[in-house]
Structure 1
């Protein structure tokens, strides 16, 4: 069997979702609608926060605007290529394009994990130390936490991608997925070893569980504080301020853990593709809706700044 290294790998074939031509066109319409709605919703949030003089000085909304900006690039790293493949006869991707997709997908996913931890810490300070919140969570600290979330996410992704650049591939180079991800690459590699799996999953455990630990510590303190509040009304009001974030945490971590903490057996790949649709397409649209649907401050800012945002986007 001929081994092909990274300089000779040429093109990979993305198997995607094999179906009839009519179903491919149907899938194209569905995912295009999700993509456009996600881009529009998240751009709208970024625009509202940027335009409003009050929201752009509140740490929670600074994090939210970063989070929405991240979701735009997160879904863009996967869906446009998938849309093209639905209409193309030959669903190929170059080696460099595949590695780039792996890198940006992992970088944005890891950045989102650390943003969720940063937002949890912000909610912890707001609920557990309300009188000192403005002095503890300053704009400077908020911006530093946002910046470090981006930096750490991209550095962690680099550590994940370096092993993939050392893999050897042999024909046929067919990836049983709709985008390039590390696990499908491992499954088509001729040089895959148990040690490679151990390195990948150990690193995934460390990154995911470390960010989850940071988030959990904040929520344990929040639960303790809420439990000792004097009335049911005050407990409900305090908990409602972090309910939307907690919902996003549970859905995103649940999807990520299902994908990356399981064994990379080939029998699970079709299930993985369906699960990937959830966290790659549905969650980026779900997140902005969760954060804004019941948010009175955002609704007030939206009524005040909606014309300016629409004019800006049209220009």
Structure 2
């Protein structure tokens, strides 16, 4: 069953989703960030469980450019749409503001709020540091399956990106640039401090270290909160076509850490670069399930099976 939601749009600022019980479970912020070095782009924060537990971090002291849930791209033809320092092989991470691009919010093509569902389509432009428009993005966000009985709700996030340049866009990561097991890029979640040292598992394995760079249909991250006697679980899931070599532009791998910082990314260029030709597009669809309690492997699998794509 689904429970009702209330959607509030503060024009030029953000869109929030609140449950019938009064808990704000999602704030999607699309106003420009103040600091261009952090790669200005929209983000979702705070994200909360139905019980009100915050499950996203914002501008943590270790990485100020980590902001809740964001679409990112750490290495794109020499530009950094992740934010912060850029990795240069042989020199490490360097503050190179001239490499940091941004994602400009151009408007909402659709915003439909129903009793138990929010669906929006956003148009964005990826702009390199010098101001050239490199890519056009059509982004979809859907809030659905708000279910008090299971203590969970779902956020679907899709991207369709089109190359506006006269030359290919080359997508990579720090790993493709020479740093081992640092394949972060793509849709990224940063957790709050509560998630540090949490439990990470997939259908086939357990432990962030073991699962770094692996592939699979979903990954779950559970934690026990400070202050309150409660656990939360986040599930990160691929749409089936993401893992189909006939339909996906490139294979995806998990970028996941529980320590020293809790983070997960659906990395689309972990070990190898891929190119997007001029005028061509690629797309991915993702799902996040935000749940109260410490879910186990069987419960995650059973719940995802009840949420058809």
TM range, smaller chain: under 0.3
- Greater relative contact order structure (CA < 8 Å, 6+ sep): 1
Given the two structures, how large is their TM-score scaled by the length of structure 2?
Answer: 0.26
- TM-score, scaled relative to structure 1: 0.26
User: Higher Cα Rg: structure 1 or 2?
Assistant: 1
**Hey, which of these two has a bigger chunk of strand by percent?**
2
More helix by share: 1
